Amino acid sequence: MTSASTETTFGAEPGEAGFTAGLGKRHAHLFEEFWEHPFLAGLRDGTLAKEKVLHYVGQDNQYLTAYLRCYGLGMALSPDRRWMRHFHDSAAFILDDETHPHHVMCDYAGVAYEDAQVERLAPTAQAYINHMMAAGRDSLGVLLAALLPCPWTYTWAGARFLAEARPGPEHPFYGWWEFYGTRATGGVTDRLRVLVDGLAEDAGAAERARMERAFEDSCHYEIRFWEMAWTLEDWPLRPRPA
C-alpha cells in the first residue's frame, strides 16, 4: 500500500474515466444476465415460489455474516482510521438495516425471520464466501473489488426496476425493491467505487488485473446465487436411498 492510497477521497463521486467505470463497461453483459435471471424476474412480477424465497433468505443471511467478516479483513488491512471508520459504518449498516429486505421476504413467505435461518451453506453460497475471504488475503484493492459487485448489482437493479415499473406499496416485494433501489442506492455503491478507483490508481498492473478478476468472479457468483435459490441448490445431488 503506498501513501497515496491513504489520500483516497472518501465520499466523492466515481469518475466515468475511473477503473470501476471500465469494470462496469467490460462486464455489462453480466449485469444484464443478473437482471434477466428468473429469480430476479420473479421478484419483479411477484410470482416467486415461497420455498425459493426462503432458500434465498437462509443462505443470504449467512452470506451477509461472511460479508461482515470481510469488513473485518478490511479493517485489518486499513492504513488509517478513516478507512477503519468506513468499515465500521459499513458494518453497522448491514447489522442495523440490511435485515429489512429479508423481513420483507419472510413476510411474503409467511414465515418468521428466525425460522428462515439455516446452519449449512449451499455449495454456491459457500464458494462465493470463500472467494471473498480469499480476496481479503491478497490486498485491500483486491478485497474491495471482490466486494463491489454485491452492492453494485443490487442497487443498479433496484434503481432500474423502480424507474421502469414504478411499483407501489401493494407490490409483494415493494420493501425489498425500495431498500435496494432507494435507501441503499448510490451511497453504498458510489462510496465503494471511489475507494476502488483510488486503490486501482495506486496499484501496479498485476494487482489491477487481480482486482478485475476478483470483480468478474463476484459478478458470476451474484448470478449463480440467484440460480442457487431458484434450483433450491443443496449438497446431495440426488435423494438419499431409503
Ligand X SMILES: Cc1ncc(C[n+]2csc(CCO)c2C)c(N)n1
Give the residues lining the site for ligand X (CB under 6 A).
Answer: 60, 63-64, 67, 93-94, 98, 150-151, 154, 184, 188, 222, 225
CA angle 80, 82, 87 (to 5 degrees): 100
Amino acid at 155: T
CB of 151 to ligand X, least distance (A): 4
Q: Which is nearer to ligand X, 19 or 34 (CB)?
A: 34
Residues contacting 120, CB < 8 A, separation 6+ = 235
CB of 97 to ligand X, least distance (A): 8
DSSP state letters, 139-199: -HHHHHHHHTHHHHHHHHHHHHHHHHH---TTSTTHHHHHIIIIISTTHHHHHHHHHHHHH
CB of 155 vs ligand X, minimal distance in Å: 6
- Pick 21 or 68: Cβ nearer ligand X: 68
| Nearer of residues 146 and 200 to ligand X, judged by Cβ | 146
C-alpha cell at 235: 449438497
Nearer Cβ to ligand X, position 139 or 185?
185
Q: CB 16 → ligand X: shortest distance, Å?
A: 22
